[in-house]
């Protein structure tokens, strides 16, 4: 008995000491120092709270529109102000609320669900948040400054061109949205690599929670879906600011190119919004049905299929612009095909509910509301996929109603269900069942009053985007009821806010794992500590808490892997992507001001561009580059990161001492996003060359192809020598490493200089001809990547001299290699597409 008590006492002391050391390593700084936080829990909450604030702004704008449309001939808003409010409502809800708040939920939940202490690029998460915050504020500045764009949240050209929108409103939109999209892609890279490479040992892909599959699909869709909009936004801003006529018919461009690029982003975005919500549904239904998900494999297959098919639907939004009938038939079929993966998930959910013993707790009420509304939205989606019907209701309120049924029903209701489900995990208190049910019924009834009736006004011919209408057209009563429904829904949202606010003060204390859930996040204390897991367990099942109820205690006691903090670093495990076998220990950066400072300087770039202070913008861009290089410098064996010590772990080793780690995967995934932007540029070039109806092609291109060819050979030499550097470093050969890097830098320097010379000296008519503007854009793109590859190599040379990189630690050299490969590939494919294709496919002007 005495021995047992002694053992228990020693175990408690060991656990207490472990938690104290972990807390010291992982805690945020006090006071204003919290702004330097990079912990995923803090950053995820920031995303969600900021998204909620933007949601309230968008909701107020929606109520103003519904007030204006409540009665005919209303004078509450004039046409100009209504158009601004209409544009900003869509912009705020689509860009500043829906995706960021889901990203925030994913950033907060994913490490906890996969058994990691943090995401693999903590500074990138914080940087993404500040880009989102500053980008959103730039967009809202235009609204409060009475300069908001009034051309719609889709910014169709030529309405958004300088000729028809001469003010600065579209510039606020274009620069702000580009800034926000950088944030989204940062989150996409972060989540993709973290899910694939930081799962708990034993959590193979087949054992991963469905929520994680949904977030992985969302992250990959962001990687492939957002770059086309970034390209389109940059091109339109160049057209407005520098006169480069990418979408101007007078120069040989085509306004429809904007629509293609926008909807290459816009339709996948619908599923980017839906998939995380579907992940919430697939998480909650098994818990409250008391049984595993029926058809787990089919659900995972449907998630990936939905993500893939969604990229073939963009012309779904362009059925009335005059595209060929064959294309209409193809995209109509593709639009109906996406119903298959959606149906698989719905039938799996229903089968799980049917075969289980459902507990009708508050979160499930919101799930049932989702099922009703989303199925209705899916049915009207199939109707809109039929081209003849689409022609009849296009640009009517029917389309507005369908979009809200899919987006609000498909995203907002599961989001609130997840809020109520995970609220005890965050706060340690249970939500109010009474207030939550009042909030649900007000929201559900108000939503259907608002948008079900808008289907009818649309079928009766009421066009969208109009600020007023005459009496006697059959829309009066329906619009009034729809507006009343909008305010009822607003009351429901207000009830949610009141409930959550009161919850932290008056909510009753929650028992551990109050919903009897199966996933790993409920093995953590409520509220979770900043390091999540005191020790990282091995996982052998999809439902770890259902199979091992003692897991929370053993994790807290330090009975599993990585239960040590003698070095004071932040660490989590690096595992193989498929099998989840442990490969290394990832050492993570601690609190840092660099993400905030970098984002702040980049926001300064945007603001100075809006003010047309181009020299100041250039200076701010250089300063941002300095901060990013400093960010890269404090890595690996740097004293501020993980300096070489005699007691460095060996089995498993630190990731910076290996040849494979999260940085390499992050580089590859980032280049995948970059390649999507580049392919979108090629799409624009081929569209101009083959489809653009008024294309103007000059008789000859005034570029020195001899210099370009020589520049390309120098680039090949740089890439080849760098490959040799990596090969020798991996083999442990330190001799000649610096000399070879100098050779790479020398060849790369002359390659970049010659490319810049071609760009600056070629007499391209970039302000008159779309053809020349596209060529100039390609040259700028190639110059940027050539210079970036050169700078990254120069940084590696300095790190080799400092002893942070070398034959014994070749990891960072390996990380940079894909950049050289990518730069070489885009250079030569660009040469073939832009200068080779016209030789074999000549088109007269």
Q: What integer is the mean pLDDT of 252-256? A: 93
Other CB atoms closer than 10 Å to residue 665's CB: what's the count?
20
d(CA 413, CA 132): 24
What's the CA gap between 415 and 363, in Å, rounded?
A: 10
User: 351: Cβ–Cβ under 8 A, 6 or more apart, which residues?
Assistant: 294, 295
792: pLDDT confidence band, cut at 50, 70 and 90? very high
Continuous H helices in 586-704 = 594-610, 614-633, 662-690
Distance of CA 446 to CAs 55, 59, 374, 491, 539, Å? 17, 13, 16, 9, 44
Please check the confidence at residue 12 and state whether its pLDDT lies above 60: no
Tokens coding 230? 């970034």
* Ramachandran category for residue 574: left, alpha or beta (phi over 0 → left; psi -120 to 50 → alpha): beta
| φ, ψ of residue 626 in degrees (nearest 5) | -60, -45
pLDDT at 74 exceeding the cut of 60: yes
Q: Which two tokens stand for residue 247?
A: 């979408």
Pairing of β 582-588 and β 570-575: antiparallel
Q: pLDDT per residue over 405-440, tens digit each?
A: 998 888 999 999 999 999 999 999 999 999 999 999
Q: How many residues does the chain have?
A: 845
CA atoms within 13 A on the CB side of 555: 28
Nearest to 336, CA basis, from 393, 401, 394, 381: 381
Q: Which of 748, 728, 737 is nearest to 799 (CA)?
A: 737
Task: For residue 56, list its beta bridge partners.
Answer: none
Residue 5 has pLDDT above 50, yes or no: no
Flag whether pLDDT at 55 surpasses 90. Answer: yes
Which H or E run contains 586? strand 582-588
CA geometry: angle 353, 357, 360, nearest 5 deg: 80
The Cα–Cα gap between 619 and 573 comes to 40
Instruction: Quote the mean pLDDT of the chain.
Output: 93
pLDDT tens by residue, 364-387? 999 999 999 999 999 998 899 889
Q: DSSP letter for 520, please.
A: G
pTM: 0.95
For 42, residues 6+ apart whose C-beta sits below 8 A from its C-beta are 28, 34, 530
Phi, psi (rounded to 5 degrees) for 586:
-85, 120
- Predicted confidence (pLDDT) at residue 1 exceeds the cutoff of 50: no
Q: How many CB atoms lie within 10 A of CB 250?
A: 13
Q: Taking a C-beta distance cutoff of 8 angstroms, is the pair 216, 110 a contact?
A: no
Cα angle: 22, vertex 26, 32; to 5 degrees? 145
pLDDT digits (tens, 9 = 90+) for 677-721: 999 999 999 999 888 888 888 888 889 899 999 999 999 999 999
Dump pLDDT digits (tens) for 91-142. Answer: 999 999 999 999 999 999 999 999 999 999 999 999 999 999 999 999 999 9
Q: What is the mean pLDDT of residues 557-571?
A: 88
At 795-809, the pLDDT tens digits run 999 999 999 999 889
What local confidence, expressed as pLDDT, does residue 845 receive? Answer: 43
Per the model's pLDDT, the better-predicted residue between 1 and 207 turns out to be 207
Percent residues over pLDDT 90 in the chain: 82
636, 614 in Cβ contact below 8 A? no
CA distances from 38 to 183, 447, 540, 835 (A): 15, 37, 31, 46
Query: Which positions ≥6 away from 645 have C-beta within 8 Å?
Result: 567
pLDDT at 199 over 50: yes
3 state DSSP class of 843: coil
Look at 314 and 475; give whichever has higher pLDDT. Answer: 475
- What mean pLDDT comes out for the span 593-598? 97
Q: Rg of the chain over CA atoms, in angstroms?
A: 28
- Number of C-beta neighbours around residue 683 at 10 A: 16
- Tell me, what's the pLDDT at 574? 97
Max mean pLDDT among 323-332, 335-344, 766-775 falls in 766-775
> Which pLDDT score is estimated for 15?
62
Is 14's pLDDT higher than 70?
A: no
| Least confidently predicted of 102-111, 544-553, 646-655 | 646-655
| Cβ within 8 Å of residue 69, ≥6 positions away | 467, 468, 469, 479, 482, 483
Would you say residue 566 has pLDDT above 80?
Answer: no
């Amino acid at each position: 008995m005495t021995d047992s008590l002694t053992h228990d006492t020693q175990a408690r002391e060991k656990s207490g000491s472990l938690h104290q050391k972990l807390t010291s390593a992982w805690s945020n700084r006090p006071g204003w120092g919290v702004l330097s936080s990079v912990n995923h829990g803090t950053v995820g909450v920031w995303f969600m709270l900021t998204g909620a604030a933007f949601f309230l702004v968008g909701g107020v704008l929606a109520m103003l529109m519904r007030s204006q449309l409540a009665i005919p001939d209303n004078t509450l808003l004039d046409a100009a102000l209504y158009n601004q409010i209409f544009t900003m409502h869509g912009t705020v809800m689509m860009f500043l609320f829906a995706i960021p708040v889901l990203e925030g939920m994913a950033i907060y939940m994913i490490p906890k669900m996969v058994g990691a202490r943090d995401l693999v690029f903590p500074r990138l998460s914080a940087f993404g948040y500040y880009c989102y915050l500053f980008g959103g504020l730039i967009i809202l500045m235009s609204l409060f400054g009475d300069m908001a764009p009034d051309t719609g949240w889709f910014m169709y050209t030529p309405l958004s061109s300088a000729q028809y929108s001469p003010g600065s409103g579209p510039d606020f939109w274009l620069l702000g949205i580009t800034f926000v999209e950088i944030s989204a892609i940062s989150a996409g890279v972060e989540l993709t690599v973290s899910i694939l490479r930081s799962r708990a040992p034993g959590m193979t892909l087949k054992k991963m929670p469905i929520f994680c599959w949904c977030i992985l699909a969302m992250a990959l869709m962001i990687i492939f879906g957002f770059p086309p909009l970034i390209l389109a936004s940059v091109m339109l801003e160049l057209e407005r600011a520098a006169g480069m006529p990418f979408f101007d018919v007078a120069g040989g461009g085509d306004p429809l190119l904007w629509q293609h690029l926008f909807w290459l982003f816009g339709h996948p975005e619908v599923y980017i919004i839906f998939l995380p919500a579907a992940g919430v549904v697939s998480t909650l239904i098994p818990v409250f049905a008391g049984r595993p998900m029926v058809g787990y494999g089919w659900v995972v297959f449907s998630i990936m299929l939905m993500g893939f098919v969604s990229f073939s639907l963009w012309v779904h939004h362009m059925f009335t612009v005059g595209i060929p009938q064959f294309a209409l038939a193809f995209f109509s079929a593709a639009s109906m095909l996406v119903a298959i993966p959606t149906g698989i998930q719905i039938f799996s959910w229903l089968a799980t509910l049917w075969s289980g013993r459902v507990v009708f707790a508050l979160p499930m009420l919101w799930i049932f509301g989702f099922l009703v509304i989303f199925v209705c939205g899916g049915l009207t989606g199939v109707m809109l996929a039929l081209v003849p019907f689409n022609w009849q209701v296009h640009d009517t309120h029917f389309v507005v109603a369908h979009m809200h049924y899919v987006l609000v029903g498909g995203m907002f209701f599961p989001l609130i269900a997840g809020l109520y489900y995970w609220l005890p995990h965050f706060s340690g208190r249970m939500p109010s069942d009474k207030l939550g049910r009042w909030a649900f019924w007000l929201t559900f009834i108000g939503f259907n009053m608002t948008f079900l009736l808008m289907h009818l006004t649309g079928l009766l011919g009421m066009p969208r985007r109009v600020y007023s209408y005459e009496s006697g057209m059959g829309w009066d009563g329906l619009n009034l009821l729809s507006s009343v429904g909008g305010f009822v829904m607003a009351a429901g949202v207000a009830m949610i806010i009141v409930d959550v606010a009161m919850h932290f003060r008056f909510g009753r204390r929650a028992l551990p794992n109050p919903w009897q859930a199966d996933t790993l996040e409920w093995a953590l204390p409520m509220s979770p500590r900043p390091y999540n897991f005191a020790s990282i367990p091995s996982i052998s099942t999809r439902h770890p808490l259902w199979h091992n109820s003692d897991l929370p205690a053993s994790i807290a006691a330090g009975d599993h892997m990585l239960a040590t903090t003698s070095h004071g670093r932040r660490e989590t495990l690096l595992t193989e992507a498929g099998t989840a076998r442990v490969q290394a220990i990832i050492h993570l950066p601690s609190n840092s001001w660099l993400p905030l400072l970098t984002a702040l300087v980049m926001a300064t770039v945007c603001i100075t561009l809006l003010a047309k202070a181009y020299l100041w913008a250039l200076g701010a861009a250089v300063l941002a580059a300095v901060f990013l290089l400093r960010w890269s410098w404090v890595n690996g064996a740097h004293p501020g990161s993980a300096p070489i010590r005699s007691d460095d772990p060996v089995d498993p080793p630190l990731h910076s001492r290996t040849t494979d780690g999260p940085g390499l995967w992050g580089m590859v995934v980032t280049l995948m996003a970059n390649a999507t932007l580049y392919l979108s540029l090629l799409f624009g070039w081929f569209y101009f060359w083959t489809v653009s109806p008024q294309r103007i092609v000059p008789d000859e291109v005034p570029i020195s192809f001899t210099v370009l060819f020589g520049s390309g050979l120098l680039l090949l030499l740089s890439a080849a020598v760098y490959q040799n550097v990596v090969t020798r470093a991996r083999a442990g050969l330190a001799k000649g490493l610096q000399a070879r890097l100098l050779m790479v830098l020398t060849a790369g320097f002359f390659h970049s200089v010659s490319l810049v010379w071609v760009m600056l000296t070629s007499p391209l008519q970039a302000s008159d001809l779309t053809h020349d503007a596209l060529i100039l854009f390609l040259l700028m793109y190639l110059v940027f990547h050539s210079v970036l590859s050169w700078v990254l190599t120069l940084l590696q040379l300095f790190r080799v001299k400092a002893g942070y990189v070398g034959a014994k630690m070749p990891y960072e050299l390996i990380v940079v290699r894909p950049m050289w490969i990518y730069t070489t590939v885009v250079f030569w494919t660009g040469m073939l597409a832009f200068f080779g294709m016209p030789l074999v496919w000549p088109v007269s002007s």
